[in-house]
Structure formats: structure tokens, C-alpha cells
Amino acid sequence: MNAPNRPAGAIYGLSSADYHGDTLAPRPSLSSTLARKLFLSPLHAWTASPRLNPDWQPEEKTEFDFGRAAHRAVLGRGDDYAAIPEELLSKDGAASTKAAREWIEEQRAAGVTPLKADAMAMIEAMAEKCRDRLALVGIKLNPERSELAAIGERDDCAIRCMADNAPRNSPWLIDFKTARDASPDGAIRAVTTLGYDLQAAHYEDTWEAATGERRRMLFVFQEKAPPFEVGIYELHEGDDEADWMTNARDKARQARRIWADCLRRNEWPGFPAAIGVLGAPSYHSAKWEGRAKPPTKFWPTPRRGRPPPEKQHEPARPDHRPRPRQGPDRHRRPPRGAGAAGHRAGVSPLAGPRRRRRHDPQGVSGQAADDHGGDPQGRRGRPCPDAGAGEHRRDQRPPDDLGRRDPRASHAFRPPCGRGDHRRGRGPDRHRDPDAGRHRPEGGAVLLHG
């Protein structure tokens, strides 16, 4: 590419294509974009340089169209834009017809940005809102001072920049940017992610090298969606933790040294051919240490029939233990002496008392006495208050001829008496009358047939 021999320090009104083509100096110059590429690797900067890379092509993306048109509307200078004729659009409003595509290609070849009519209306509203907001802080954008290119020399390196606007008799270099979020938090994220601090340092150094005038960078962020809010910010510089510019100026100086050294050696290395070790950044540890502390124990979902976690660690009591309502062990009888003694013998304190089998030859003796604190009748051995005066409790029935007790004389069986707190037994005979097939002699005792 043939570059004109222009003296360093001069300011020219150039088109965007001429500036990005690096036509200001007889040797390759360093822009803020290339400076940010250098910190990836010199090879990235070489690839993005129009003077060094013979295969370089300008980056054209449709998502840049809105920003370029907004620059033109706000600054009053830059690439023109035009609305796509509605008769060329499809029925759904898309620019997908052959005529629309041909028209768009012609406009791009002429340096005009094609836009739809609704986007045009949004851009005009944005420009009006931005100019009004800048006027409130005493800034008036003069189109003659927009898109100013500057070339300078510093640290044996040619440097260039293009200020969006440099008002006369003003301490500011204005840079306009469209964004999704123009709030202070959104602007901080953009500066950190996109390296706008390095851009500010590079622009200030280049403008001073070109004109001898020291100015500060002023960022104007405007949202691309209604209400098109505008945020106007400068980057803080001072001897505190909130300082941006001290490190940014160090990065700008280092970028100039790397650029000059690579040009002198004509070597543009990429990433090293070695195994690197990644260290954790400071915010990673801060994020982990400042998180909400989880509980010390994570309880699994309790299975059916198990007591809830808050009751699994209660001390075992010999007189009462929770009984599981369901589970594979709901019919299992506890061993003799369950409770504190059973726990010492290896019985889990979590296992509750089991239901006695219906046909127990021991009746209420033995295990029933242990389960109920020495009461041979058990909890359920009380006489039914609704029973007749001549009826006896089933646990006190006399034995049969062989000295056996009624096998149904157990605390697990309760006669039907009409009260809700006395449930019937379970099993296929739960609806059978317990006195069926018996005769009742005088005195009310029920005898078994021999």
C-alpha cells in the first residue's frame, strides 16, 4: 500500500477507510486497536495491521451498521447511511429479496451504510437525546471538529488516533460509543472487557505528541434501545485503588516498546510453545471466600419409614422410641429388653417398637411386659369403656383345657366397640366377630370349645 509522506503532528480530516488503512505515515503506525492486540501476542497485531499483513481485509459486520450510523447522526461527520426502500423488502419486512440484496451491495461499495426505516427513526431519536444531554454539561459538538486524525512520534514509534470530536478550547477528547447498558456499572464492565482504559491513554499521548496539547478522554455511552439513555464518564486518575490511568499509561508505553522492537527485528511471535501454568486471579478467591456458607452437613432425602433427620440423633429412651410407620421392618418384633439395654446389645436406637404378631402363644406375657414397662396388659390392654358390665377384658380370659390362653388375647388386638381410638386388628380376619362360635356362660366369661 502506497502511503503519503505526511509530517508527524499534523491533523487531517480523513475518511474512516483512509484512517483504518494506515495511510498517515511512511511506516506502520500503532493505533489503540493494535496496541490492545499486542497484549494478546505480536502475531495478533501483525494480522490486524493493514500495512504489515498483505492479506488484510477490512472487517465488515452488519452489527457495526447501527453504530456507524449513530456516529454519523451524533457527530455530524462520518460514513453516510440510507434507508432501504420499502418496495424492495419482502412481505415480512426482511431485506431478503434479490433486489434488496443488490441495492445493499451497491450502497456498501459506495461507502453508505444501509438501514431499515425503523432503525433510521431510532438513530434520529438517539442523536437528539445525546446532543441535548451533552448541552446540559456545557459541551456542544461541532461537526467540523469531528473525526479528527492525529499522527505523532513517541518512544521511537509512530502512533495515530482518530478522535470522534475535539471541541475548541476544551480539555476533552470525546469518544462516542453505543452500548446496551450506559449505567456506571455497564460502563465499568465495558472499560474492563474492551480495554477502553488503554484506548484513553493512547489517545491522550497521541494527541499530545501531535499538538502539544494535553487533553483528557471523555466517554459518551448511549443505549441502543429506548429510552436511549446517555452516560458521560471520564476515567479516574489518582493515588488510590480506583485509579485507571496509571496502569493504562504503563500499558501504552509497553505497547510502544513492543511495537518498535518487533518492527526493528521483523519478528512477530505468537504464543510460546510451552506448557503454561494458570494462576487464579484475585477476584476468584474473593468470590469464593465471600460466598454464602453452606450447611456443614447435607441430609439426604429421608426414605419412607425413616424418621426425619432432626430426630435421627435424639438420645434413645427405654420407655419410648419412634416407631416407623412403613418400611420393610414394620412387622419385625424387637428383641427382649429393647431400649437402653437393647441398644447396648447391638439394637439400633432408631428402630421403633414393632407390632406383635396376632397369634402369639405367650399372649401378653414376656415381651409385652418389657415393651410396656412391666405392665402385662400393655398400653392397649385397658377395658373398653363401652363394653358391658358382664364382659371381661380379653387379656384376662381363663385358659382352655390344656392351660393355653386365647391366642387372640394380645395387646395388638382390640375388640370392635364403636370408638374411634380402638382400631380393629389387621389381616384377612379383621372383619370377623371375635365372639363368633363361642357360648357365653353365666358370669360373662367366654370359653373356647375344647
Helix (H) / strand (E) containing 163: strand 158-165
**pLDDT score at 55:** 92
DSSP annotation of 294 reads P
Cell of 71: 456516529
> 11-77+131-265: what fold?
Lambda Exonuclease; Chain A (3.90.320)
Q: What are residue 165's DSSP bridge partners?
A: 146, 174
Averaged confidence pLDDT in the chain: 76
Confidence of residue 117 (pLDDT cuts 50, 70, 90): confident
Q: pLDDT tens digits for 81-112?
A: 888 888 888 888 788 888 888 888 888 888 78
The percentage of the chain sitting over the pLDDT mark of 90, rounded to a whole number, equals 39
Between residues 421 and 274, the one the model is more confident about: 274
> In 18-90, at which residue ranges do the beta strands (DSSP E only) sit?
81-83
Cβ-based burial of 239 (10 A; exposed 0-12, middle 13-18, buried ≥19) = exposed
Sequential DSSP letters for 373-412: TT-TT-TT-SPPTTS-TT---GGGPPP-TTSPPPTT-STT
Nearest of 65, 75, 66, 78 to residue 176 by alpha carbon: 75
Report how far residue 206's alpha carbon sits from residue 252's, in angstroms, rounded to the nearest whole number. 10
Number of H helices, E strands in the chain: 12, 8
Mean pLDDT of the 435-444 span: 53
Dihedral sign from CA coordinates of 250, 251, 257, 260: negative
Nearest of 78, 77, 66, 93 to residue 228 by alpha carbon: 66
Report how far residue 395's alpha carbon sits from residue 376's, in angstroms, rounded to the nearest whole number. 9
Report how far residue 366's alpha carbon sits from residue 374's, in angstroms, rounded to the nearest whole number. 9
Mean pLDDT of the 210-235 span: 95
Cβ-based burial of 388 (10 A; exposed 0-12, middle 13-18, buried ≥19) = exposed
Mean pLDDT of the 238-257 span: 93
Query: Model's pTM, two decimal places?
Result: 0.61
**pLDDT score at 416:** 52
What is the phi/psi pair of residue 230, to 5°?
A: -120, 130
Residue spans of the domains in the chain: they are 11-77+131-265, 334-382+391-414
Confidence of residue 398 (pLDDT cuts 50, 70, 90): low
The answer to whether residue 23 scores a pLDDT higher than 70 is: yes
The answer to whether residue 256 scores a pLDDT higher than 90 is: yes
**Top mean-pLDDT range of 74-78, 157-161, 368-372, 410-414:** 157-161
Confidence of residue 435 (pLDDT cuts 50, 70, 90): low
- For residue 13, CA distances in Å to 151, 250, 311 come to 12, 30, 81
Nearest of 22, 119, 17, 111 to residue 66 by alpha carbon: 119
Exposure letters 164-198 (e unless 16+ CB within 10 A, then b): bbbbeebebbbbbbbbeebeeeebeebbeeebbbb
Cell of 257: 516498546
The answer to whether residue 197 scores a pLDDT higher than 90 is: yes
Report how far residue 414's alpha carbon sits from residue 397's, in angstroms, rounded to the nearest whole number. 14
What is the phi/psi pair of residue 233, to 5°?
A: -140, 145
Confidence of residue 200 (pLDDT cuts 50, 70, 90): very high
Report how far residue 365's alpha carbon sits from residue 70's, in angstroms, rounded to the nearest whole number. 96
Mean pLDDT of the 198-224 span: 95
Decide: 324 and 305 in contact? Cβ < 8 Å: yes
**pLDDT score at 45:** 96
Dihedral sign from CA coordinates of 185, 188, 193, 194: positive
Report how far residue 419's alpha carbon sits from residue 423's, in angstroms, rounded to the nearest whole number. 8
Mean pLDDT of the 380-393 span: 48
The answer to whether residue 301 scores a pLDDT higher than 60 is: no
Confidence of residue 331 (pLDDT cuts 50, 70, 90): low
Task: Say how many C-beta atoms besides its own lie within 10 A of residue 115's C-beta.
Answer: 22
